[in-house]
């Protein structure tokens, strides 16, 4: 920036601040720490922070701030050049049991048993694609712009796919997922989740589960592909080190295997998701989403009324706690989709239009949410508190996929945004 700066960070972010400064080329940056948190404290409490000590150095905080702006630079602090980070040797040799624990203890897994990535298994995985092992597939970071992006090759992805328990014929889906460059472990303090919608004939070729228990632990491709996403985000995407590259304060159970949603195209009365995005029905495509989480819709009003459940009312109701950071992804059992068609919503677009028009929030309510600034439009004069604004400004913030085994007309809603669709066929 060209002028002396004293960065001030709360102690909760100490590891993050130090490692991030180093990754960005200032390993000796003079960072001053305050107690945590600042948000929600009174003015008097904050002033007391300033009159107290830096909880890391133990020295008076404001003296440290002044020193950091006025003490002459050391030789280290003025250094230029480049430093190459080390990720360890190309392979590890030990007994299988020791290697399992070694991989776990060194943060290379999701803390569970992996299939050890031997040369033989990795070679077999590489047979699942026509692409060269050294081809660069993409790059990834836990928050674009905030951390250096790591790049990765087909071979490096094969190693992680093996570890997750994937079979070689799943590999093109994992390559396509990685090519979206969306990490499964965002660094945000929010504890985000990700989802992947899978379309095309590959769903049946791999025996993916889009029926009973589709989102649960009942199918190898669903489980292993989802798990591979987390594994590769950690090992290849510079993500998932708590305190440094992962800050989600509560964490998210979905991060183990992520939401893998092969669409039940045959039982759906609507256009498949990938066709909505411009692909042909016979193409194989993965579409990725990021956001908060997913919740079951059974509490929606209008489901227990006669003569037929008012599914659209329930959908609208279940989106009430959604914030403005992300759009919506509704996962309908085929029975719900068929019910919605009978209610007149014969396309996903019609349902999105209805929700966009009928799902509104008052300015007063919007202002009382955490991310209000992203919600309430900046207008002059400002909008009155009782004015109603749309929950989302675009109908395409409402996405729908059909998944489930038709044992009951249930749906789930996720506060998640669509990010990208990538051809799986390109990675065959």
Residues 187-246 binding other proteins (CB under 8 A) are 189-191, 209, 211-220, 222-224, 227, 230-231, 235-238, 240-246
Stretch touching other proteins by CB under 8 A, among 266-274, 279-287, 352-360, 368-376: 368-376
- Member of 134, 280, 282, 368 binding other proteins (CB under 8 A): 368
The yes or no reply on residue 34 touching other proteins (CB under 8 A) is: yes
The yes or no reply on residue 132 touching other proteins (CB under 8 A) is: no
φ and ψ at 151, to 5 degrees? -100, 160
The yes or no reply on residue 110 touching other proteins (CB under 8 A) is: yes
- Member of 126, 198, 285, 303 binding other proteins (CB under 8 A): 303
User: Residue 271 contacts by C-beta under 8 Å, 6 or more apart in sequence?
Assistant: 347, 348
Structural contact between residues 420 and 180, judged by C-beta atoms closer than 8 angstroms: yes
Nearer to other proteins among residue 281 and residue 394 (C-beta): 394
Q: Where are the alpha helices (DSSP H) in 118-196?
A: 119-126, 154-164, 171-179
Closest approach, Cβ 417 to other proteins, in A, equals 13
The yes or no reply on residue 171 touching other proteins (CB under 8 A) is: no
- For residue 209, what are its two tokens? 């589960």
The yes or no reply on residue 378 touching other proteins (CB under 8 A) is: no
Closest approach, Cβ 329 to other proteins, in A, equals 13
Angstrom distance (rounded) from CA 332 to CA 273: 13
| 324-363 binders of other proteins (CB under 8 A) | 324-325, 331, 333, 335, 339
Closest approach, Cβ 283 to other proteins, in A, equals 25
Torsion of CA 117, 201, 256, 408, to 10 degrees: -150
Angstrom distance (rounded) from CA 107 to CA 88: 13
Closest approach, Cβ 424 to other proteins, in A, equals 20
Stretch touching other proteins by CB under 8 A, among 5-13, 278-286, 351-359, 419-427: 5-13
Q: Where are the beta strands (DSSP E) in 157-246?
A: 193-199
| 242-301 binders of other proteins (CB under 8 A) | 242-259, 292-296, 298-301
The yes or no reply on residue 416 touching other proteins (CB under 8 A) is: no
Q: Using the 8-state DSSP alphabet, how is residue 255 labeled?
A: G
The yes or no reply on residue 138 touching other proteins (CB under 8 A) is: no
User: Residue 316 contacts by C-beta under 8 Å, 6 or more apart in sequence?
Assistant: 355, 358, 359
Nearer to other proteins among residue 75 and residue 384 (C-beta): 75
- 10 Å CB burial of residue 304 (0-12, 13-18, 19+) is exposed
Residues in contact with other proteins, shown as a per-residue x/- string from 55 to 74 under the rule CB under 8 A: -------x--xx--xxxxx-
392 Cα distance to chain centroid = 20
């Amino acid at each position: 920036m060209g002028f002396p700066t004293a960065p001030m960070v709360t102690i909760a972010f100490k590891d993050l601040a130090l490692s991030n400064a180093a990754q960005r080329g200032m390993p000796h940056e003079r960072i001053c720490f305050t107690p945590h948190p600042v948000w929600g404290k009174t003015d008097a409490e904050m002033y007391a922070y300033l009159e107290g000590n830096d909880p890391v150095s133990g020295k008076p905080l404001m003296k440290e701030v002044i020193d950091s702006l006025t003490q002459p630079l050391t030789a280290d602090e003025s250094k230029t050049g480049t430093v190459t980070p080390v990720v360890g040797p190309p392979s590890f040799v030990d007994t299988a049991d020791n290697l399992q624990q070694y991989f776990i203890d060194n943060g290379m897994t999701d803390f569970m048993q992996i299939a050890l990535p031997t040369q033989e298994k990795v070679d077999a995985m590489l047979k699942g694609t026509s692409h060269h092992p050294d081809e660069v597939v993409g790059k990834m970071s836990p928050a674009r712009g905030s951390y250096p992006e790591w790049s990765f090759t087909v071979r490096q992805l094969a190693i992680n796919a093996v570890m997750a328990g994937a079979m070689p014929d799943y590999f093109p889906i994992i390559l396509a997922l990685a090519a979206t460059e969306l990490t499964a472990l965002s660094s945000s303090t929010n504890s985000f989740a990700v989802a992947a919608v899978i379309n095309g004939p590959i769903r049946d070729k791999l025996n993916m589960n889009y029926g009973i228990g589709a989102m649960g632990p009942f199918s190898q491709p669903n489980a292993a592909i989802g798990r591979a996403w987390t594994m590769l985000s950690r090992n290849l995407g510079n993500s998932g080190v708590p305190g440094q590259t992962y800050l989600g304060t509560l964490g998210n159970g979905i991060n183990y295997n992520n939401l893998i949603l092969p669409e039940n195209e045959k039982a759906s009365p609507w256009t498949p998701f990938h066709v909505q995005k411009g692909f042909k029905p016979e193409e194989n495509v993965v579409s990725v989403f990021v956001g908060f989480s997913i919740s079951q819709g059974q509490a929606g009003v209008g489901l227990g009324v006669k003569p037929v459940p008012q599914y659209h009312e329930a959908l609208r109701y279940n989106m009430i706690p959604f914030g403005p950071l992300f759009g919506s992804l509704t996962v309908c059992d085929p029975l719900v989709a068929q019910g919605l068609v009978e209610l007149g919503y014969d396309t996903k677009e019609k349902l999105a239009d209805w929700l966009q028009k009928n799902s509104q929030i008052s300015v007063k309510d919007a202002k009382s949410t955490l991310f209000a600034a992203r919600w309430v439009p900046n207008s002059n004069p400002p909008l009155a508190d009782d004015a109603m604004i749309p929950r989302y400004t675009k109908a395409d913030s409402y996405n729908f996929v059909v998944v489930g085994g038709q044992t009951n007309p249930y749906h789930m809603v996720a506060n998640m945004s669509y990010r990208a669709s990538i051809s799986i066929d390109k990675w065959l």
